[in-house]
Amino acid sequence: MLSDPSMYRPGEAWHEVPPGLPLVALLSGYRDAGQTVRQGIEALLSQDEGRIVASFDADLLLDYRARRPVVKLESNRVSEYRVPRLDLRLLNDSLGQPFLLLSGFEPDFRWDQFTGDLLRLHAHFAVSSTTWAHSIPMPVPHTRPARLAVTGNRDEFIENNSVWQTNVEAPAHALHELEFELTASDEPVVDLVVLVPHYLADSSVPAGAMKLLEGIGSAAGVIIDTEQLRERDRVFRTDVDAQIAENEEMQRLIQALETQYDGVVRGTPRENPFADADGEMPSADDIATELERYLSARRKPNEK
Domain ranges of the chain: 8-224, 246-299
Superfamily of domain 8-224: PAC-like subunit (3.40.50.10900)
Residue bearing the bigger pLDDT, 301 or 230: 230
Instruction: Assign 215 a pLDDT band (cuts: 50, 70, 90).
Output: very high
pLDDT score recorded for residue 58: 95
Residue bearing the bigger pLDDT, 279 or 204: 204
What is the mean predicted confidence (pLDDT) over 153-178?
Answer: 91
Collapse the DSSP code of 138 into the 3-class scheme (helix H, G, I; strand E, B; otherwise coil) and give the result: strand
- The DSSP secondary-structure symbol of 106 reads P
State the pTM of this model.
0.86
Residue bearing the bigger pLDDT, 301 or 125: 125
What is the mean predicted confidence (pLDDT) over 260-280?
Answer: 54
Instruction: Assign 139 a pLDDT band (cuts: 50, 70, 90).
Output: confident
Q: State yes or no: pLDDT of 73 exceeds 70.
A: yes
pLDDT score recorded for residue 269: 42
Planar angle of CA 282, 264, 233, nearest 5 degrees: 85
Long-range contacts for 272-281 (Cβ within 8 Å, ≥24 apart)? 281/256
Instruction: Assign 263 a pLDDT band (cuts: 50, 70, 90).
Output: confident
Taking residue 88's Cβ as centre, other Cβ atoms within 10 Å add up to 27
pLDDT score recorded for residue 32: 93
User: Strand 147-152 to strand 189-197: parallel, antiparallel, or no bridges (unpaired)?
Assistant: antiparallel
Instruction: Assign 3 a pLDDT band (cuts: 50, 70, 90).
Output: very low
Alpha-carbon gap, residue 189 to 185, rounded angstroms: 10
What is the mean predicted confidence (pLDDT) over 184-194?
Answer: 97
Could you give the residue ranges of the DSSP H alpha helices within 126-226?
A: 155-161, 174-184, 206-220
Residue bearing the bigger pLDDT, 25 or 279: 25
Mind listing the pLDDT tens digit for each residue in 34-62? 999 999 999 999 999 999 999 999 999 99
pLDDT score recorded for residue 270: 39
Q: Which range is least confidently modeled, 1-5, 138-142, 240-244, 248-252? A: 1-5
CB 150 within 8 A of CB 268: no
Alpha-carbon gap, residue 278 to 220, rounded angstroms: 49
Q: Which of 250, 292, 293, 296 is nearest to 274 (CA)?
A: 250
Q: Which range is least confidently modeled, 106-115, 188-197, 226-235, 253-262? A: 253-262
274 phi and psi, to 5 degrees? -100, 10
